[in-house]
Amino acid sequence: MTKRGTPASPRPRRSRLAGPGAAAGALAALTFAAVHALWITDIWFSLVPMMVAGAACGATIGWSYGRLFEPSVRTWLGYNASYVIALAILGLASVAAFEPRTTMAELLALDGPPADLIGDAFPLTITFTLVTTVVLSLLFGRTRAAFGAILVTCSVLVALLGLDVSIIGMIRIPTSSLYLVVELAGLIIVLAGSFAAAVIALAWDELGARSGAPVQHPGDWSEAGHR
């Protein structure tokens, strides 16, 4: 019972989506590689690290979702969409902040990642991670636990997916090659969509008939001023 004599609301059951998220992330990476090979060029040689990265991202998204929501298809799709939008904003911020200084051909000719470009974009990347964490925490939790879960998720996604996005503004893309940007955007949508759909298929019992109410934790920031 609460102090006012009303029954305390039951604690929402947390979803267990880390496992399905990891499996779906690996499958989404496989789908991405297949579509990339069909539309742009063959990248099967990097399939294993892509699937490992996909599994790590998927497990993290599934884990943090379970800490923030009582599961439902609606909130699951919305939570995934928020990270897709955030990465798109990172790309736009990169274009606004940097001047082009290399070409896609030069990047593809490198033996490894463009460490110098990633280093120059690092302040933007860190700022983006922190700002995104604060914004999503305000939207989805307003608790210290929510902030921590979203910070972990943003950090993993930026480390494994966002570093390439953060240097987009440094790449010189001729007008005649703008279709590559459109194709890349399409691939990202395919990646995110196939991941979200795969989790729904793998964890339908968790997501199929839930209300989708945000999980309430002790220490809500919005209540801090009333204590």
Three-state SS sequence of 106-162: HHHCCCCCCHHHHHHCHHHHHHHHHHHHHHHHHHHCCCHHHHHHHHHHHHHHHHHHH
- Domain locations in the chain? 18-208
Q: Tens digit of pLDDT for each residue in 141-185?
A: 888 989 999 999 999 999 999 998 999 999 988 776 666 677 777
Helix (H), strand (E) at residue 59 = helix 47-68
Amino acid at 179: Y
Q: Is the pLDDT of residue 201 over 50?
A: yes
Which is more confident, 201 or 142? 201
Q: Which token pair is 197?
A: 């759909």
155: amino acid identity, one letter: S
User: Would you say 183 and 12 are in contact if contact means Cβ atoms under 8 Å apart?
Assistant: no
Q: Contact, 15 vs 66, CB < 8 A?
A: yes
Dig out the tokens for 220 from the structure: 């809500």
